[in-house]
Structure 1
Amino acid sequence: MAAASPTARHPPLPVSDVVVVGVGARAPNGLTALQVTMSVRALKTDPRASHLIDKHGEPMGLCRLPSIGDSVMGIDRFVALGGPALTQAAFGWLAAQRRNGRAARPLPVLVALPSRRRPGLDARLEPHLLLGLEARSQVPIDHARSGLVFGCRGGGVEAFRLAIERLRAGEHEAVAVGGVDSWFDPDALEWLDRELRLHSMQTENGFIPGEGAGFALLTARRRAASLPPLAQILGAGVASEPRPYGSDEPCLGQGITEAVKRAVAPVGAAARRIPWVMTDVVNERHRIDEWTYAVARAHEAFTTDVIHDQPLLKTGDLGAASAAVLLAIAATRWQTGCAAADCVLIGAHAEGPERGALLASLDPVR
C-alpha cells in the first residue's frame, strides 16, 4: 500500500527543520536498509542454532548474520555490524560534498549501545568503538564531537534526541546517529537463559535474540542541499520507567507513556493523531503489557485503527540498534511507496528504566 496522503481525517503534517538524508541498516535478514525492510515485509526470519548450550543441554538459537564468523565476538562483532551500516547512511552526504568540490568533513557520530549493566559487555567498546567504525566504514569521524549512549533500546532514542538538539542549536552541519548491538555473547545468553527469557519449547514467554546496526544521517533542512530528504523527524521523547522489569511492583507503562506524549507534543494529539507505530515489542509478556498500558494511557495520540508493526519478531531482538533500524525501515518504506501511513511513532523499551519514542514522517516538502 502506498504511503497515505494527508486528508481531512489526517490533517497536514508540520514541516520539521530536521531531516533524514541517508539511512543504513544491517540485520540477520539483510545487509542493507532495503534488504532488511523487504525481508521484514516478506515475513522472513531465520533463527539458527549456535554452538552455545542452554541449561537443558540444547543449542541456543538466535538470529545472527551468517557473514560474521561465530568466533567473532565483542567489539570486533560490533564493528563488523556497524561499519557497513554507517557507510550506507553517510554515502550520499559525503558524495554530495565531493561533487561540490569540498573535502569530506569529519562527521559527528552518536551511537547507542547496550547498558553497561549487561553481562559480558566488552569493556573495549567505550575507548575503541568509534575508531573501529571509522576504519571499517571509511567515514571520517569527528571524534571530539562524537559520543556513545549506553542505554540499550531506550538509549537509541536518546541518541536521536541529542542529535536533534545539537542540530537545532547549530552545533553541527550534519550528524550520523544510530545504534549497534549483538546478543551473541556467552555471558549475555547465559543471563537470558537463567532468567527464562530465551524463547524455546520450554520457554514460550521469551524472545529470540538478534543482532544488527542502524544509522541515519540527520541534517538541518537548510543544510540538506541537493539531497532529497527521505524523512523528517518531528519529535523525540525520553523518560524513565519507575518500575522496570524486575521491580517488586508491577509496571504500568508510565515511562513509555511519558516518552510518547513528549514525542507527539510538536504535532498536538488533538490536531494530528498517529495512524502507524513500530515498536521493539516482541513476545515477552511484560513488554506487551507495558506497551498496551501506554497506548491506553496516551490513547488521544493514536487513531482508533492504529497499525502496530513489530519488525523485531522477524529480525530477532536488536537491543540498542532497534530505534535506528526501525527508522531506517520506515524511511525505506516511504522511499519505495509501501508505507502504512505518512507518519510513524517508534517506541523503544530498554532492559533498564530508559524509555523512548521517536516521531518521524514522510517529508511533506517533496
Structure 2
Amino acid sequence: MTTAIITASNILCAIGRGSPQVWASARAGIARIGDSQLLDRNFDPIQMGLVPEDALGMLTPDIDRLPLPARARRMLRIATPVLQDLAIDTTAPLRLFVGLPQLAAAEAPWLRHFPNYLQMLTGVPIDATNSVVIAKGRAAALLALEAARDALRSDPSSPVIVGGIDSFLDLHLLGVLGDEGRVLGPRVMDGFIPGEGAAFLALSAEGTGVAVNGVAHVDDPGHRYGSAPARGEGLAEAMHLLRGQLQGSPPPVGVTFAGFNGESFDAKLWGVAQLRHRDFFAPAMAVEHPADKYGDAGAATGAILTALAATALGDGSRSGSAFVWAASDHESRGCALLSSTGH
C-alpha cells in the first residue's frame, strides 16, 4: 500500500503566514480577532478573524473581469500567496484536491472552476482534468486528503496537492448565520467567530516528511441541519474506519488537532468519539483547538489543522501520532492520523 507523505505545507490565516509562523503563534496564544467594520442586526460590530489586506494576493485582469461573487474573489486572493509559496517542484502539472464551502453547484458554478482560476492567478501548473473540488465545508479538506491519497496509490509518480480555502467575509452569509443565532456576539453565547484562511499541502508517495497513516470520513445524518437525531456518532464512526486502515503499530495519539469552532454542537461529536476510542489516545494527550486564535476558517479548517499537525510533528514540538478531525455543518465528518517518518 502506498503511503502518502506530507513533504511541504503552507498556511495563511489571521495569525500568520507560513505553517511555522502560524503554529508558533497558536502555541504562544496569539489571537488576531477583533471588531470588523460590519455590523449585525443589532448594530453591534461583528468580531472576525481576518487576514490583513497587505497579505492577500491580487487578482489579474483576466480574473477580475469574471462575474465572480465577492466571497469567491476573497478566497482567491487568500489562496494565491499560499499556493505560490508552497515548496514544491512545479515542473510537472499538479493534481489539486481542494476543499471548498458547501454550496450548491447551481448557486455557485465558480466552485468547479476554482483550480483553473488558481492556475491563472499563480502560474503554478495544475492538471485541471485530474483535479478534484470537494465542496463540503469544514471537513472538505480531509475528504480531499483521502481522495488525494487514493490518487497517489493509483499513480505515485504524479505530484499531488491538497488544499482548503474559505472566507466568512460575505454580507449575505453573515446575515444568514446571524438570523440563525450562530455568530458570537453580545447577545449570542453559543456561537462562533467568523474567520478565513487557506492551507495547502504537498503529498508524495515517498520521501521525508510526515506520513498520513490513515484518513477516513463518514456522512452523519444527525448533522446540524438534518432531520435525524443528533447522536454525535459520526466522528466515532469515521475513527473506526480510520483505525481499520492502520498498518503496524503507529505511536499512541500524543496530540489531537480538533475542529472546534466555539459552538457546543461539535463537543458531543468529540466526546462520543473520545469515549469509544479511548484506547487510541495517550493518557497525557494534548488537544489543540487553534480556531480560538483565528476564528472559524470554514472549509480551510481541515487543511489548516493538518498542516499544523505536520508542522508540530516535523519540528518535534509534539510527539507520538497526531490525530486531526473536522466536522462540517452538514453531513461530512473527517479525520486523519499522522506520524513522523522517523517512527
Q: TM-score, normalised by structure 2?
A: 0.89
Q: 2:301 aligns with which of 322, 333, 336?
A: 322
1:333 CA drift (Å): 2.0
> CA separation in 2, counterparts of 1:270 and 1:293?
24
| Identity in percent | 25
Q: 2:79 aligns with which of 79, 82, 99?
A: 82
State the Cα deviation string for residues 56-102 of structure 1 (Å, max 9, x = none): 11121110112268xx932221111112222233x3333xxxxxxxx
Correspondence list, 1:213-362, <5 A: 213-221=198-206, 224=207, 229-248=208-227, 250-267=229-246, 272-339=251-318, 341-362=319-340
1:60 aligns with: 46
Q: 1:269 to 1:276 in 2, by over 3 A?
A: farther
Question: Amino acid of the residue matched to residue 161 of structure 1?
Answer: E
State the Cα deviation string for residues 273-301 of structure 1 (Å, max 9, x = none): 32211111132111112211111122222
Q: Which secondary structure does the structure 1 equivalent of 2:292 belong to?
A: helix
Q: Which secondary structure does the structure 2 equivalent of 1:93 belong to?
A: coil
> CA separation in 2, counterparts of 1:21 and 1:308?
24
> CA separation in 2, counterparts of 1:205 and 1:161?
31
Question: Amino acid of the residue matched to residue 344 of structure 1?
Answer: A
Question: Amino acid of the residue matched to residue 124 of structure 1?
Answer: W
1:308 CA drift (Å): 1.3
1:131 CA drift (Å): 2.3
Q: Which secondary structure does the structure 2 equivalent of 1:267 belong to?
A: coil
Q: Which secondary structure does the structure 1 equivalent of 2:70 belong to?
A: coil
1:264 CA drift (Å): 2.7
1:249 CA drift (Å): 5.3
1:137 CA drift (Å): 2.5
1:364 aligns with: 342
> CA separation in 2, counterparts of 1:61 and 1:347?
25
> CA separation in 2, counterparts of 1:270 and 1:364?
14
Structure 1 gaps of 5+ residues are 1-14, 95-103
Q: Is the 8 A contact 1:109 1:175 kept in 2?
A: yes
Q: 1:171 to 1:272 in 2, by over 3 A?
A: closer
Question: Amino acid of the residue matched to residue 352 of structure 1?
Answer: H
Q: 1:300 to 1:202 in 2, by over 3 A?
A: same
Question: Amino acid of the residue matched to residue 235 of structure 1?
Answer: G
1:44 CA drift (Å): 1.0
> CA separation in 1, counterparts of 2:334 and 2:248?
17
> CA separation in 1, counterparts of 2:17 and 2:282?
34
Correspondence list, 1:160-179, <5 A: 160-170=145-155, 173-179=158-164
Q: Is the 8 A contact 1:241 1:255 kept in 2?
A: yes
Structure 2 gaps of 5+ residues are 57-68
Correspondence list, 1:161-200, <5 A: 161-170=146-155, 173-200=158-185
Residue 107 of structure 2 is aligned to residue 110 of structure 1:
no
1:272 CA drift (Å): 4.9
Question: Amino acid of the residue matched to residue 356 of structure 1?
Answer: G
Q: 2:88 aligns with which of 92, 113, 116?
A: 92
Q: Is the 8 A contact 1:270 1:301 kept in 2?
A: no
Question: Amino acid of the residue matched to residue 163 of structure 2?
Answer: G
Q: Is the 8 A contact 2:313 2:322 kept in 1?
A: no
> CA separation in 1, counterparts of 2:247 and 2:52?
44
Question: Amino acid of the residue matched to residue 204 of structure 1?
Answer: M
Question: Amino acid of the residue matched to residue 111 of structure 1?
Answer: V
> CA separation in 2, counterparts of 1:300 and 1:269?
16
Q: 1:323 to 1:121 in 2, by over 3 A?
A: farther
State the Cα deviation string for residues 244-276 of structure 1 (Å, max 9, x = none): 113455422221111112223333798753221
> CA separation in 1, counterparts of 2:5 and 2:249?
24
State the Cα deviation string for residues 189-241 of structure 1 (Å, max 9, x = none): 111111111111211111111100011010111xx4xxxx2211000010011
Q: How many residues end up aligned between the 2 structures?
A: 331
Question: Amino acid of the residue matched to residue 52 of structure 1?
Answer: L
Q: 1:42 aligns with which of 13, 22, 28?
A: 28
1:105 CA drift (Å): 0.9
Q: Is the 8 A contact 2:218 2:334 kept in 1?
A: yes
Q: Is the 8 A contact 2:50 2:196 kept in 1?
A: yes
Q: TM-score, normalised by structure 1?
A: 0.84
> CA separation in 1, counterparts of 2:228 and 2:258?
24
Q: Is the 8 A contact 1:24 1:87 kept in 2?
A: no
Q: Which secondary structure does the structure 2 equivalent of 1:284 belong to?
A: coil
RMSD: 2.4
